[in-house]
């Protein structure tokens, strides 16, 4: 099935790629409505799902938080700051999933998702600074 690229989808995709980040639907909506004032938040959500289903973008669901979207399609993992909720790409090398014999429980492995959490450098500095003040 060929996905028809509407003006709305093109604009959403362009803004996501331009951001070089992992934006939520709300953040994308705020950016897109500057160029398309009549677009609705529901339209942005619907088109993000369509673009994700078409594998033109990736949907990130990290720690049960608000979904984020990524325009980078090459296999990679992410690291998530538990304080400010920033998400960054994490390059861990090979994307080949190798499990010990019997650990795949009969599944054919088609991908993987590793969730890494921690404190980003900015939040570490804030926490260190606030401890010194007390």
pLDDT number for residue 41: 97
Average pLDDT of the residues in 6-32: 93
* pLDDT per position as a tens digit, 88-121: 888 776 656 566 666 667 787 777 777 788 999 9
Q: Which domains does the chain have, with CATH numbers?
A: 1-73 (1.10.10.10), 74-134 (3.30.1490.190)
- State the pTM of this model: 0.75
Q: Which of 9-23, 25-39, 43-57, 80-94 has the lowest mean pLDDT?
A: 80-94
Six-digit token string for 22: 């992992």
- The predicted pLDDT at position 130 comes to 81
- CA nearest to 51, candidates 103, 88, 14, 100: 14
CB contact set of 60 (below 8 Å; sequence gap of 6+) = 22, 67, 68, 69, 70, 78, 87
Would the pLDDT of 63 be above 90?
no
Q: Are the beta carbons of 123 and 81 closer than 8 angstroms?
A: yes
More confident residue, 88 or 8: 8
Residue with tokens 């953040």: 27
């Amino acid at each position: 099935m060929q996905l028809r690229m509407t003006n709305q989808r093109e604009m959403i995709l362009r803004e996501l790629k331009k951001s070089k980040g992992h934006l939520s639907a709300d953040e994308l909506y705020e950016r897109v409505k500057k160029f398309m004032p009549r677009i609705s938040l529901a339209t942005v959500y619907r088109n993000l799902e369509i673009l994700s289903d078409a594998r033109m973008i990736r949907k990130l669901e990290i720690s049960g938080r608000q979904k984020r979207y990524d325009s980078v399609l090459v296999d990679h993992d992410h690291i998530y700051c538990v304080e400010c909720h920033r998400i960054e790409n994490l390059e861990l090398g090979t994307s080949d999933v190798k499990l010990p014999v019997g650990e795949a429980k009969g599944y054919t492995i088609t991908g993987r998702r590793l969730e890494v959490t921690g404190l980003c450098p900015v939040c570490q500095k804030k926490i260190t600074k606030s401890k010194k003040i007390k």
